[in-house]
Structure 1
Amino acid sequence: MEKLSHKARTRQRILDEASVVMRENGTESIGVAALMKRVGLTHGGFYAHFASREDLVQAVIAEMFADSARRFADITSIKDPTERLNQLIDSYLSEQHCNTPGEGCPMPALVSEMAHLPVEARTLFSQRREAMRQRLALTLRELNHPHADDAATTMLAEMVGALAIARACPDDEEARTMLASSRRSVKQRAGLEIA
C-alpha cells in the first residue's frame, strides 16, 4: 500500500473530522477555525488543503459517500441478490445505523440542507445518490422485479427518510418501531419474503 505524504495525511484528518461534524450537525456547523482547532491545526493551515469552505464541503460530501460505500462493501459484495438486499435493508434501517449519525450514509444527515448549498455540492450529492439508487435497481433487476427503477427510487427515499425521522425521535421505542415498520415496507416493495 502506498504511503501517504504528510500533506495528504493532514488533509485526510481534516476530511475525517469534518465528515463526523457534518453528519452529526449539518454543513452549517462547519466553521473553518473551529474545525482546524478540533484537528489540532491553525486556521491558516486550512488553505494549504482547500481553496474555500465550499471546497471543503464538496470534498467532505465525496468523502462521506466513499466512506459509506466502504462500510457497506461486505454487503454489496454478496453474490445472492436476495441475501444482499435483505442485509442492505436490515443494516441501513438498523438501530446501530440510527444511533451513529457520525458514521454511515450521509444522505439522512444532509438531504434537507442540499437545496441551500452551491450547485456544485448539490450536483455531487445528486450523482452519489443516483449511484446508490442504481445499485438498488440493479439488485432488483437481478431479482426480476417488474418495476426495478421505480421501486429503487421509492425504496431509497423511504429508507433515507425513515432513518432521518427515526434519528429525530425523542422516544427510542418510537424510533425502533419506525425502523422495523420501514424495513417490512421496503422489503415488501422489493418482493422479498417478510419473516
Structure 2
Amino acid sequence: MRYDSEHKAQTRDRLLQEAARAIKAAGPEGVGIAEVMRRAGLTHGGFYAHFPNKEALVAAALDRMFEEAVARFAKRIDGLPPREALAHTIDAYLSPLHQDSVAEGCPLPALAPDVARLSPALRARFGAGLARMQAGAAALLRALGHGEEEAAQLAASLYAEMAGAIALARACAEPAQAAALRNGCRVALKARFGLRADRRRAASPGGVNLLYNP
C-alpha cells in the first residue's frame, strides 16, 4: 500500500509538471487530457485516478506553476542584499531567456489573457498565485524602506509592467522591437526604484547564474 501511495504521488507529480508546461505553452483551452497524458507517458484512462475532470487538472497545474515561480524567485535572490535582489529580479524577468521560455517561464505573461476567460474558481486560483508573487517583491521593497501599503502597490505595478512587457515582446515578430520593449521596461523600472540601469548578471555563491533559469 505504501508503494502504491508513493507511486501514485510520483505519477501525479509528473502529470502536473507536464500539464503546467503544456498549459503555459498552448493555453488551457489548447491542451487536451489525452495530450497531457501522452506527454507524461501515461494512458488516457489513468487520468481519472488523479483528477475528476480537466478543470481540476488546470487548477492544480496553476498551483504548481506559482509554487515553482515563487521558489525560483527565492532561489534567485538568496543571499543578495535587497537592492541587488530587486535589480536582479528585474534583469532576470526581462531577459531574452525568459522571453523565449514560455513553457518554463512565469505563468503571468503566458496565461493572463486565457485565464480571464475561464471560470471564477480558476481565476481565483490565478489571483492567489499572483498575490504570492507580489508578496515576495513587496518584502524586498519594505526592506528598502517603503511602507506596507506603498510596497504592496509598487509590487503590483512591478509585476504588471514586467509581465506586460514580456507578453508584448513575445507577440512581436521583430527581435529588435521585442528587445526594445524589454529593455525600455527594465530601464524605466530601475530608474523608478533608484537602481543601476546596466544589466548585470549576478551569480549565486556557487557561481551558478540565476537569470530566469527554470
Q: CA deviation at 1:149?
A: 2.4
> Which residue does 1:102 correspond to in 2?
103
Q: What amino acid does structure 1 have at the position aligned with 2:100?
A: N
More divergent stretch after superposition (76-85 vs 16-25): 76-85
> Which residue does 1:191 correspond to in 2?
194
> Which residue does 2:164 correspond to in 1?
161
**SS of 1:111 mapped into structure 2:** helix
> Which residue does 2:135 correspond to in 1?
134
More divergent stretch after superposition (81-90 vs 182-191): 182-191
Query: What is the CA–CA distance in structure 1 between the aligned matches of 2:109 and 2:48, rounded to whole Å?
Result: 29
Query: What is the CA–CA distance in structure 2 between the aligned matches of 1:76 and 1:128, rounded to whole Å?
Result: 19
> Which residue does 2:43 correspond to in 1?
42
Alignment length, in residue pairs?
A: 193
8 Å CA contact 1:82, 1:143 repeated in 2: yes
Q: Normalization by structure 2: what TM-score? A: 0.84
More divergent stretch after superposition (152-161 vs 130-139): 130-139
Q: What amino acid does structure 2 have at the position aligned with 1:152?
A: A
Q: What amino acid does structure 2 have at the position aligned with 1:70?
A: A
Q: CA deviation at 1:138?
A: 1.8
Query: What is the CA–CA distance in structure 1 between the aligned matches of 2:138 and 2:155, rounded to whole Å?
Result: 5
> Which residue does 2:89 correspond to in 1?
88
8 Å CA contact 2:93, 2:162 repeated in 1: yes
8 Å CA contact 1:36, 1:46 repeated in 2: yes
Query: What is the CA–CA distance in structure 2 between the aligned matches of 1:134 and 1:41, rounded to whole Å?
Result: 36
Report which structure shows greater RCO (CA 8 Å, sep ≥6). 2
Query: What is the CA–CA distance in structure 1 between the aligned matches of 2:70 and 2:105, rounded to whole Å?
Result: 9
Q: Where in structure 2 are the equivalents of 1:1-195 lying within 5 Å? A: 5-145=6-146, 147-195=150-198
Q: What amino acid does structure 2 have at the position aligned with 1:185?
A: A
**SS of 2:188 mapped into structure 1:** helix
More divergent stretch after superposition (3-12 vs 78-87): 3-12
Q: CA deviation at 1:185?
A: 1.1
**SS of 2:182 mapped into structure 1:** helix
- C-alpha RMSD of matched pairs (Å): 1.7
Query: What is the CA–CA distance in structure 2 between the aligned matches of 1:67 and 1:148, rounded to whole Å?
Result: 23
Q: What amino acid does structure 2 have at the position aligned with 1:143?
A: L
Q: CA deviation at 1:77?
A: 2.2
Query: What is the CA–CA distance in structure 1 between the aligned matches of 2:122 and 2:188, rounded to whole Å?
Result: 31
Q: What amino acid does structure 2 have at the position aligned with 1:24?
A: A
8 Å CA contact 1:151, 1:190 repeated in 2: no
Q: CA deviation at 1:174?
A: 1.3
Query: What is the CA–CA distance in structure 2 between the aligned matches of 1:43 and 1:142, rounded to whole Å?
Result: 49
Q: CA deviation at 1:76?
A: 3.2
8 Å CA contact 2:82, 2:144 repeated in 1: yes
Q: Normalization by structure 1: what TM-score? A: 0.92
